[in-house]
């Protein structure tokens, strides 16, 4: 792969020439901002940015050193583990607290952030500073920035593009003896699955298998009950079997969409996958447990958000070509994947909003977004992800692009937490505890969600 700045002359590829010109313009713009003090008003300020405690947060600390140098401001960070992130930060917002000047809040928070006045509306700021949402991946604008959805009302800048995808032990899949046995058993080649049916076949094939003297299992999937885990997992099956959150022609009309025949089949599939292809004791697993199981050689595949892929690739055991990546496979009703990721917002209760907006302006720059990707972050800026060499910039980059093109998200309603609690309980009770049927679980979810929307005055 050619280095980013290696080529200095014109190419025969007009796309590359356009991109090189754009890069030169970025350098010039960044230099002009520094020279004119565009990011500083002469007053140094201590800013606090709040986010989850995970690998990308460490990359953001490193990235933000450039902002500190350019602006004279000091960045502080409040990072909270994912399992308590929502409780901690939503309590902070709901109480009008001033701990956070900037908030990288989860995608589902955008409705509450807007309607409850927690986030500063950014339209005028974007217009005044030449920041266009057309420059970001459309799915991330809808998912992280807009409220109401599909309207040009922005309360965040897309900050971290993320999606549920899959990692697999490519070195195991390529073993000739396993390829032969799999072909004899299933009648097709052992490779990254293209359908959910193939995914279940492969998980079952590896379940309880001996690999180099160790018993391994098929797949680590999301099953966690306490926060959002099983919801973020089961939706990857539900969507692809035909589940819809509501009637597309009548908002909050749930009957026959949430609990459709296809949705029932999708939920049954997820339970079957759990029953036949997951490790013993994995009844309450989420991101951390899944990556630990994969890195330690317990599973052939893992479901996880794309943020784990840089760590997988760098791991001395499973990295360096031993792992591969694939998007969430297709089902009978299409191919979709659960959106993750977050937008960055200015907290309305902050007394340092001007400096916080400087950070937003700095973070939106194409050069900063490119460095964000290089450091292990995940940019949503089209100038970065649509660049000619992006797909080959990392072994997982093409899978990232393919996955971001098929995303759907959970409810982003202000009452999302109540909607999520009901989903977690219904899904876990059926998939993990084996209580009742899939139809009963989804019928119950329709009742739960209907009650929430009635209480909210939406029905």
Sorted by where each begins, the domain ranges of the chain are 46-162+340-408, 164-338+412-456
Tell me whether domains 46-162+340-408 and 164-338+412-456 share a fold. Answer: yes
Supply 106's token pair: 């989860």
Q: What average pLDDT does range 307-336 have in this prediction?
A: 97
| Per-residue confidence (pLDDT) for residue 337, from 0 to 100 | 98
Rounded to whole angstroms, the Cα distance separating 201 from 195 reads: 10
| pLDDT of residue 458 exceeding 60 | yes
CATH value of 164-338+412-456 in 3.40.190.10, 3.90.650.10, 3.40.50.720, 3.30.450.20: 3.40.190.10
Q: What average pLDDT does range 156-167 have in this prediction?
A: 98
Q: What CATH code is assigned to 46-162+340-408?
A: 3.40.190.10
Rounded to whole angstroms, the Cα distance separating 223 from 382 reads: 33
| Per-residue confidence (pLDDT) for residue 41, from 0 to 100 | 52
Give the closest residue to 206 by CA, choosing from 239, 236, 161, 172: 172
Q: What average pLDDT does range 288-294 have in this prediction?
A: 97
pLDDT tens digits along 111-129: 999 999 999 999 999 999 9
Supply 109's token pair: 């928070």
| pLDDT of residue 362 exceeding 70 | yes
Per-chain mean pLDDT for the chain: 92
Q: Is 59 helix (H, G, I), strand (E, B) or coil?
A: helix
pLDDT confidence of 42, banded at 50, 70, 90?
A: low
| Per-residue confidence (pLDDT) for residue 452, from 0 to 100 | 98
* Sign of the alpha-carbon dihedral angle for 187, 191, 194, 200: positive
Rounded to whole angstroms, the Cα distance separating 326 from 303 reads: 10
pLDDT tens digits along 163-186: 999 999 999 999 999 999 999 999
pLDDT tens digits along 377-416: 999 999 999 999 999 999 999 999 999 999 999 999 999 9
| Per-residue confidence (pLDDT) for residue 83, from 0 to 100 | 84
CA 187 to chain centre: 34
Q: What average pLDDT does range 295-299 have in this prediction?
A: 98
Q: What average pLDDT does range 296-302 have in this prediction?
A: 98
Contacts of residue 419, defined as CB under 8 A and 6 or more positions apart, other chains included, come to 410, 411, 413, 448, 449, 452
Pair 441, 231: CB distance under 8 Å: no
pTM above 0.85, yes or no: yes
H or E, element range at 342? strand 342-346
Rounded to whole angstroms, the Cα distance separating 436 from 372 reads: 46
* Sign of the alpha-carbon dihedral angle for 204, 206, 210, 215: negative
């Amino acid at each position: 792969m050619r280095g980013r700045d290696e080529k200095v002359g014109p190419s025969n590829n007009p796309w590359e020439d356009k991109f090189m010109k754009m890069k030169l313009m970025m350098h010039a713009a960044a230099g002009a901002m520094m020279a004119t003090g565009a990011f500083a008003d002469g007053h140094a300020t201590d800013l606090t940015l709040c986010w989850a405690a995970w690998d990308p947060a460490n990359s953001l600390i490193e990235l933000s050193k450039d902002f500190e140098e350019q602006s004279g401001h000091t960045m502080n960070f409040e990072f909270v583990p994912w399992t308590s992130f929502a409780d901690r930060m939503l309590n902070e917002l709901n109480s009008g607290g001033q701990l956070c000047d900037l908030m990288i809040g989860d995608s589902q928070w955008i409705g509450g952030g807007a309607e409850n006045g927690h986030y500063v509306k950014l339209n005028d700021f974007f217009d005044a500073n030449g920041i266009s949402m057309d420059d970001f991946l459309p799915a991330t604008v809808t998912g992280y920035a807009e409220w109401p959805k599909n309207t040009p009302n922005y309360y965040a800048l897309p900050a971290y593009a993320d999606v549920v995808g899959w990692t697999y032990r490519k070195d195991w899949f390529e073993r000739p003896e396993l390829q032969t046995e799999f072909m004899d058993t299933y009648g097709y080649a052992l490779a990254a699955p293209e359908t959910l049916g193939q995914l279940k076949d492969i998980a079952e094939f590896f379940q309880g298998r001996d690999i180099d003297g160790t018993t391994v299992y098929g797949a680590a999937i999301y099953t966690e009950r306490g926060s959002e885990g099983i919801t973020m997992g089961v939706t990857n099956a539900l969507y692809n079997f035909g589940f819809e959150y509501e009637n597309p022609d009548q908002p909050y009309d749930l009957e026959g969409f949430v609990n459709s025949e296809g949705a029932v089949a999708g939920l049954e599939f997820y339970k079957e996958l759990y029953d036949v292809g997951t490790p013993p004791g994995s009844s309450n697993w989420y991101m951390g447990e899944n990556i630990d199981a994969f890195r330690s050689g317990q599973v052939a595949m893992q479901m996880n958000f794309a943020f784990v892929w840089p760590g997988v690739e760098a791991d001395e055991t499973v990295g360096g070509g031993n792992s591969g990546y694939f998007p969430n496979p297709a089902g009978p009703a299409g191919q979709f994947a659960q959106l993750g990721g977050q937008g960055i917002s200015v907290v309305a209760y902050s007394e340092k909003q001007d400096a916080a907006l400087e950070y937003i302006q700095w973070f939106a720059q194409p050069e900063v977004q490119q460095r964000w990707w290089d450091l292990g972050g995940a940019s949503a800026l089209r100038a970065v992800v649509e660049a000619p060499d992006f797909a080959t910039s990392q072994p997982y980059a093409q899978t990232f692009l393919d996955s971001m093109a098929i995303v759907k998200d959970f409810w982003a309603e202000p009452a999302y937490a109540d909607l999520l609690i009901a989903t977690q309980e219904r899904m876990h009770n059926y998939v993990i505890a084996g209580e009742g049927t899939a139809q009963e679980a989804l019928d119950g979810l329709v009742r739960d969600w209907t009650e929430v929307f009635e209480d909210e005055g939406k029905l």
